[in-house]
């Protein structure tokens, strides 16, 4: 469906005043299962329908939610079920086109990160959401737990003016399924790098000037294996990042260095992580202090439940969600620049 065929505004949702927000889910794989489970754990939304061409995947999600209607496609779901909003949890190459279909049917959308394959798709979603009056949320769920802890410390002024950020995201081999294919948006740069870039942009809170990047690809296949890149910001801060697959385990680190202190995030998964803080402006952190969050549930409760609650809140309050299409488009702009810089051997200027 072309953007020009979309309706001019989104119809009021059930969440805009009374009752839980009625959700349809498209994509019933791993992340779809997680989102379905998250929907069960909060009373602000109600999952009423799901869609996937794989009957087995449909059955697994349907087994989680009583009276859930199942459909072979998003189009069938939209024709046969009454929903206010759609969760898009598909492989990367389907995120943008299915989000456009949902907004074309007058629905609000929460799309999994990175919301599309490139900046062009991100910009299309940004423009269509604005034209349609849709609440579009980018699914960067780490902001609601791991990254959120760090952002709170930075907002409190513990490091002062940010001078430099370093970070890495790494995982084991991506050898199977859509994450192993460039045609479906696989590879760690989009899969993990989108999370890292979203964090860096959120923490820096500044415009990007230029991006330099280098990508090592797997022999015989155009899939990225290790990517290193540098982001320069208008205020003078610089971020240096690395994203890789084929390592021994999943891990991530982000360090933010400021004139008055440092915050370091180190994680082994979404629940096992620690934050080290040292600050010249807060006596509680005069010496390096390690903070380890108390965890009593899983990542679904810690990350995805608050994400769905923020999405429903934005719709009910008729305000933009805290992570919108513009945020998603900015991440894709940086990732596109990494690829372009690798090809040209020169930094890519961003307007």
Q: What is the pLDDT of residue 5?
A: 33
How many other CB atoms are there within 10 angstroms of residue 309's CB atom?
18
> Do residues 140 and 231 touch, judged by C-beta distance below 8 A?
no
pLDDT surpassing 80 at residue 35 = yes
Indicate the SS3 state at residue 177: coil
Mean pLDDT of 42-57: 98
Confidence check: pLDDT of 6 > 50 = no
Global pTM? 0.94
- The better pLDDT of the pair 181, 293 is held by 181
Cα dist from 19 to 14, 35, 105, 187, 315, whole Å: 6, 19, 21, 40, 12
Is 8 a residue whose pLDDT tops 80? no
Class of 146-292+331-349 in CATH: alpha beta
Query: Does the fold of domain 146-292+331-349 match that of domain 3-142+303-320?
Result: no
What average pLDDT is seen over the chain? Answer: 94
Phi-psi region of 157 (alpha: psi -120 to 50; beta: other; left: phi over 0): left
153-198: pLDDT as tens digits: 999 999 999 999 999 999 999 999 999 999 999 999 999 999 999 9
d(CA 116, CA 137): 13
> DSSP character for 301?
I
4 pLDDT tier (thresholds 50, 70, 90): very low
Three-class secondary structure of residue 229 per DSSP: strand
Beta partners for residue 254, in sequence order: 167, 265
- In 164-270, alpha helices (H): 188-191, 193-204
> In b/e form, how buried is each residue of 115-151, taking b as 16+ CB within 10 angstroms?
bbbbbebbbbbbebbeebebbbbbbbbbbbbbbeebb
224-260 per-position pLDDT tens digit:
999 999 999 999 999 999 999 999 999 999 999 999 9
DSSP H stretches of helix in the chain: 30-40, 55-62, 74-80, 92-104, 119-132, 146-155, 188-191, 193-204, 299, 305-316, 325-344
- CA-wise closest residue to 338 among 8, 118, 73, 47: 118
Average pLDDT of the segment spanning 31-48: 98
Contacts of 47 (CB under 8 A, 6+ apart): 23, 24, 25, 36, 39, 40, 65, 68
* 308: its two tokens: 């769905």
Domain extent listing, the chain? 3-142+303-320, 146-292+331-349
CA 312 – CA 321 distance, rounded (Å): 9
- Long-range (24+ apart) CB contacts under 8 A made by 318-321 are 318/16, 320/135, 321/110, 321/135, 321/136, 321/137
Strand order in the sheet with 208-217: 289-291, 273-279, 261-267, 251-258, 162-170, 238-244, 224-233, 208-217, 348-349
> What was the pLDDT predicted at 294?
78
Per the CB < 8 A criterion, the answer to whether 223 and 181 are in contact is: yes
CATH architecture of 3-142+303-320: 3-Layer(aba) Sandwich (3.40)
**Helix, strand, coil percent values for the chain (each to nearest 5):** 40, 25, 35
**Per-residue H/E/C for 113-159:** CCCCCCHHHHHHHHHHHHHHCCCEEEECHHHHCHHHHHHHHHHCCCC
> How far apart are the C-alpha atoms of 242 and 229, rounded to whole Å?
7
Residue whose entry in the numeric block shows the structure tokens 């449909």:
58
Q: Is the peptide bond before 73 cis (omega within 30 degrees of 0)?
A: no
Closest alpha carbon to 88 in 119, 50, 131, 57: 50
């Amino acid at each position: 469906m072309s953007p020009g065929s979309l309706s001019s505004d989104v119809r009021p949702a059930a969440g805009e005043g009374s009752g839980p927000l009625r959700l349809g889910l498209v994509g019933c794989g791993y992340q779809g299962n997680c989102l379905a489970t998250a929907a069960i754990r909060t009373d602000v939304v109600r999952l009423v329908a799901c869609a996937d061409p794989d009957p087995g995947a449909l059955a697994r999600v349907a087994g989680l939610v009583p009276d859930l209607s199942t459909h072979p496609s998003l189009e069938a779901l939209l024709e046969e079920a009454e929903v206010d909003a759609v969760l898009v949890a598909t492989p990367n190459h389907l995120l943008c086109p299915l989000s456009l279909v949902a907004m074309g049917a007058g629905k609000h959308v929460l799309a999994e990160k990175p919301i599309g394959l490139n900046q062009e798709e991100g910009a299309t979603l940004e423009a269509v959401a604005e034209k349609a009056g849709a609440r579009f949320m980018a699914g960067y769920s780490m902001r609601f737990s791991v990254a959120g802890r760090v952002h709170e410390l930075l907002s409190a002024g513990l490091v002062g003016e940010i001078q430099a950020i370093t970070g890495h995201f790494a995982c084991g081999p991506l050898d199977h399924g859509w994450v192993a294919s460039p045609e479906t948006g696989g590879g760690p740069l989009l899969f993990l790098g989108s999370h890292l870039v979203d964090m860096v942009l959120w923490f820096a809170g500044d415009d990007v000037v230029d991006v330099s990047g280098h990508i090592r690809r797997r022999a015989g296949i155009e899939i990225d294996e290790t990517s290193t890149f540098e982001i320069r910001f208008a205020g003078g801060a610089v971020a240096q990042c690395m994203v890789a697959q084929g390592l021994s385990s999943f891990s991530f680190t982000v360090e933010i260095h400021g004139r008055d202190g440092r915050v370091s995030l180190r994680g082994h998964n979404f629940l096992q992580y620690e934050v080290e803080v040292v600050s010249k402006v807060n006596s509680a952190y005069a010496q390096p202090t390690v903070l380890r969050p108390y965890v009593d549930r899983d990542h679904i409760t810690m990350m995805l439940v608050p994400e769905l609650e923020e999405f429903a809140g934005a719709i009910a309050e008729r305000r933009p969600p805290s992570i919108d299409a513009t945020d998603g488009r900015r991440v894709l702009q940086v990732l596109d620049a990494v690829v372009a810089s690798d090809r040209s051997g020169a930094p890519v200027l961003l307007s």
